[in-house]
Amino acid sequence: MMVARATALSCQWLMGTCSVNSVTLPNGKSLSSGVFVEKCKYLEESKCLGICINTCKLPTQTFFKDHMGVDLYMEPNFEDYSCQFNFGVPPPPIDTDKALKEPCLDICTNARRRRELGSSGGPDGLCPQV
């Protein structure tokens, strides 16, 4: 709960407006250990799913686990640019994380360039940056 409150207060300059909310922990209990980012500035400015995954989601989850001792599962929403931080919830294995199976964003400059050149990007149209 403390990590969620500190994150919501100290990271708005990077992420945008956010608030503490309740998440369901692996043991089934609900706790106010979540942070909901209404519209992530980082994702909105980068316009790239790969940048979100590789320079925010995965490193942030790793940092909190390895250096703070807190599990964190981040769930970015690539349609409305919101993001749910679930402190106390371990992330799923990389091969089952749904965020890593998303196609490139329509607004991605690189994706637009690939479409113009007739290339779909990565396998199954997934973002090749992931």
129 occurs within a structural domain: no
Average pLDDT over residues 105-111: 75
124 occurs within a structural domain: no
Residue 48, pLDDT > 90, answer: no
127 occurs within a structural domain: no
130 occurs within a structural domain: no
* Cα–Cα distance, 22 to 130 (Å, whole number): 29
57 occurs within a structural domain: yes
User: Number of folded domains in the chain?
Assistant: 1
| pTM score of the predicted model | 0.86
Extract the runs of DSSP E, i.e. beta strands, from 1-130: 18-24, 30-37, 72-76, 83-87
Least confident of 104-108, 120-124, 125-129: 120-124
Q: What distances in angstroms separate CA 69 from CA 20, 61, 96, 100, 121, one per listed residue?
A: 20, 11, 23, 24, 36
Query: At 104, phi and psi to the nearest 5?
Result: -55, 150
Residue 21, pLDDT > 80, answer: yes
Average pLDDT over residues 63-79: 96
90 occurs within a structural domain: yes
122 occurs within a structural domain: no
Look up the domain containing 25 and give its range. 2-117
